[in-house]
Amino acid sequence: MATDHATVPSVDEFILASSTVGENLYGIVLCIPDMKCGSCIGRIERNLGAVEAVQQVRANLTRKQVSIQWMAEYSPQAILNSIAGLGFAATLLDTPKPEKDAGIKSNIRALAVSGFAASNVMLLSVAVWSGADESTRQLFHWVSAAIAIPAVAYSGQLFFRSAWSAVRVGRTNMDVPVSIGIVLAVLLGLYDTINHAERVYFEAVIMLVFVLLIGRTLDNLMRARASNAADGLRAMEPSGAYVVTESGKLEYRATVQLSIGDKVRVKTGERVPVDGIVYSGQSYVDTSIVDGESTPKKCKPGQQVYGGTLNVSTEFFVRVTASADKSFLAQMHNLVQFAHSSKSVYTQISDKVSRWYAPVVHAAALVAFVLWMYLTGDVHKAITVAISVLIITCPCALALAVPMVHVIAGSQLLRHGIIMKNGSALEKLGSVGTVVFDKTGTLTVVDTQSLSLDTTHSEQHLKLARSLSQSSEHPFAKVLMTTSGNDAMQSDLFKCKVRDVPACGLEAIIDGETIRLGRRSWAADNDSTEANLSPGNESESVLTSNGRILTTFKFSNPIRKGAVAAVARLKSKALNVIMISGDQLGPVAEVARQLQISDARSGALPEHKVSMVQDLSNTMPVLMVGDGINDTGAMAAAHVAMAPGTAASVGRNMADFIFIKQDMNAVPDAIGIAQKAKSLVKQNIVLAIGYNMLVLPLAYAGLVTPLIAAVAMSLSSIIVVANSMRLSQQYRLWYKQDDLVPAMEAAEL
């Protein structure tokens, strides 16, 4: 998207985004998405380093970022020119998030300390187990204590803090039993060491902390990686804009400071800072970030423009209608972030689980203690068993089972250009048996080339058709507005109230005549020619005046990129593929033939679509892929819905999944990932619960020492995590085999 324009931020934006790092020294981090190889780093660093203003420059290939320190006495214009001269598009980062990085770093530090302590204590313990004499054993126990206690105190903070913050407000979470287990085990170890016991369990405690930290760190890294994608979306929003003040002057303000009612100037090549209504000037905006539409849209006074869209024509002025945090782009960003980490949902679920799980665990440990106390009268043995039960029943693996898979699946989906709106939809998508497609705008794309105008279309007819189409979101209407766009003519369109009749067309009364544009059977009175007209693959829209046909617009139906391969892949997965369209038989049959869809239904009104989808979902879960207003009913009726990024906003709201790329392969990709994810979740739950079931009786019987309990528990977590990781591994291999598909498709065309 951004590369087409090779955009760099403006000087004002650049200065605004810079932060002071030293005396007369500013620091800034730019995101350069096209930085892909070693020579890119070299070119960027050498060229920017040669700029006088630059004090220091460092490119980061992994993050695709460049951090620059520049001196305040120079204008940063030369820096920007240098970047643009290299042909890179650069965006400013929203705000660098040191606190997020710091969290991961302190996590890794704790992991390193506990790893060091665990390996050393384990070495000493193995020496003791293999038969050390009394005095050596004593020495080693004390050394172990000296290493383990500070290490636990340092590395265990993460759990203690979390547990304490839960306990303080009268709640309990997963970290409570873990923390109690750790503290008790340390105290017991200390007691044993002082009393010259033969066995001391420091290694068990420190191992537990170590392995729990591994899980935490993995989780954090995954989340950080996932949210990077969401940040990319946010970066599309300019960091500031020129505001027209009351005295008529222009003043540069940060986007976050823009308030409702402000008048903002949007220059050519700039992005609209926040949502607003155009009040002066006319232009074309590239809205591809909002709806994936590559054709720039016209905007004129009174029209809504969304933040993040790009002004590709002349300068215009916008009155702000939503502050930066409530703009469309911010909502989209939140949506992605929510879908991505799905953190809030899962934290809730796991907290809910632990709300009853933690008391059960504590009770189980207490019962074990009392039982052993009663049966043997041995306090020491009873405490050991209780600790084992406490550690072993800790539901860490269970807690990781679902979110781990969903987090990975989410980032996999995003890599394929698919945004997941909620986590539960993933499971539904995995069990889908029937895929229903809409035709126009979904399986076929409608672009400016699809409408061919000839001499039979008079200027007057075009003007009428455009007057009706100007407010519609139907693909045909959009094409009519943009094809052979003549500005002078478009500006004097009829001002009329257009009624949108779903699945039929558009209607307005102009100069006392009822003008209709749309389906032949609806627009034209008593027209019997429908059957023998348009037998080919062209769809048509009829323009009528009081039922009299004025002209016919024919739209060719180019198949969406990847649709042939996508349908073939879906069929190879033994899924039913059905096409339901409101269009006439001719074009529907032609598209079905090209895509090799055997079950294609034409002439369906929205309510037909709903009932058909309902019928289908009685037998098998249905995925509805649609884009327009006339599909929303069917999308709601289906188990799970998917929409292309180009869909009307209603369609996007209704969909559980949105694919941003134009390629239809997103549908089989998403289903493939969802199926894998679903089976992995099941496996994980079986693994986690099965492990608890297996070991709990042994722990009760006193056959499991805290060491074995710690190792087994950590092992089950690691197995669950490793099993979840298979999603990315397997899927990548599977996808590689499919690389043949584009070639297949090319051969067909």
Choice among 94, 262, 438, 627 that is catalytic: 438
Could you tell me which of 552, 502, 499, 489 has the C-alpha nearest to residue 524?
552
Burial of 502 (0-12, 13-18, 19+ CB in 10 A): middle
Answer for which of 3, 4, 24, 112 binds another protein (CB under 8 A) is 112
Which window, 51-59, 208-216, 258-266, 545-553, contacts another protein (CB under 8 A)? 51-59
Please, what is the minimum distance in Å from the beta carbon of residue 63 to another protein? Answer: 7
Tell me the CA end-to-end span of the chain in Å, nearest whole number: 26
Please, what is the minimum distance in Å from the beta carbon of residue 691 to another protein? Answer: 32
Say whether residue 220 binds another protein (CB under 8 A): no
Q: Is 438 a catalytic residue?
A: yes
Bridge partners, 71 (sequence order): 25
Rounded to the nearest 10 degrees, the angle between the axes of helix 706-737 and helix 666-700 is 160
**The total number of residues written for the chain in this structure:** 749
Site for another protein in 128-167 (CB under 8 A): 133, 135-136, 139-140, 143, 147
Bridge partners, 66 (sequence order): 30, 59
Say whether residue 62 binds another protein (CB under 8 A): yes
Please, what is the minimum distance in Å from the beta carbon of residue 41 to another protein? Answer: 6
Q: Which residues contact 430 (CB under 8 A, 6 or more apart)?
A: 671, 674, 675, 676, 677, 678, 679
What is each CA distance from 321 to 278, 302, 316, in whole angstroms?
A: 10, 12, 16
Which window, 31-39, 184-192, 294-302, 453-461, contacts another protein (CB under 8 A)? 31-39
Say whether residue 123 binds another protein (CB under 8 A): yes
Please, what is the minimum distance in Å from the beta carbon of residue 249 to another protein? Answer: 39
Say whether residue 604 binds another protein (CB under 8 A): no
Burial of 67 (0-12, 13-18, 19+ CB in 10 A): middle
Residue among 232 and 238 whose Cβ is closer to another protein:
232
Answer for which of 4, 61, 161, 370 binds another protein (CB under 8 A) is 61
Answer for which of 12, 33, 43, 45 binds another protein (CB under 8 A) is 45
Q: Which x/- pattern, by CB under 8 A, does the window 396-415 give for another protein?
A: --------------------
Please, what is the minimum distance in Å from the beta carbon of residue 265 to another protein? Answer: 37
Say whether residue 120 binds another protein (CB under 8 A): yes
DSSP element (H, E) containing 257: none
Q: Which residues contact 43 (CB under 8 A, 6 or more apart)?
A: 86
Say whether residue 231 binds another protein (CB under 8 A): no
Please, what is the minimum distance in Å from the beta carbon of residue 37 to another protein? Answer: 7
Say whether residue 267 binds another protein (CB under 8 A): no
DSSP 8-class letter at 631: G
Q: What is the CA radius of gyration of the chain?
A: 32
Q: Which residues contact 506 (CB under 8 A, 6 or more apart)?
A: 468, 469, 472, 474, 477, 498, 499, 500, 516, 517, 518
- CA separation for the pair 575, 741 (Å, rounded): 18
The residue count for binding another protein (CB under 8 A) is: 33
Which window, 115-123, 251-259, 591-599, 733-741, contacts another protein (CB under 8 A)? 115-123
Answer for which of 43, 63, 415, 682 binds another protein (CB under 8 A) is 63
Q: Which x/- pattern, by CB under 8 A, does the window 66-105 give for another protein?
A: ---------------------------------------x
- CA separation for the pair 113, 623 (Å, rounded): 49
Say whether residue 116 binds another protein (CB under 8 A): yes
Kindly give the pairing relationship between strand 499-501 and strand 310-311.
unpaired
Kindly give the pairing relationship between strand 283-286 and strand 297-299.
antiparallel
Which window, 61-69, 484-492, 553-561, 654-662, contacts another protein (CB under 8 A)? 61-69
Please, what is the minimum distance in Å from the beta carbon of residue 106 to another protein? Answer: 10
Answer for which of 34, 43, 60, 231 binds another protein (CB under 8 A) is 60
- CA separation for the pair 279, 304 (Å, rounded): 10
Please, what is the minimum distance in Å from the beta carbon of residue 65 to another protein? Answer: 9
Give the ranges where 156-268 is alpha helix by DSSP (H).
Answer: 157-168, 175-194, 202-234
Give the residue numbers annotated as catalytic, written as ranges. 438
**What residues make contact with another protein under the rule CB under 8 A?**
37-39, 41-42, 45-46, 49, 55-57, 59-63, 105, 108-109, 112-113, 116, 119-120, 123-124, 133, 135-136, 139-140, 143, 147
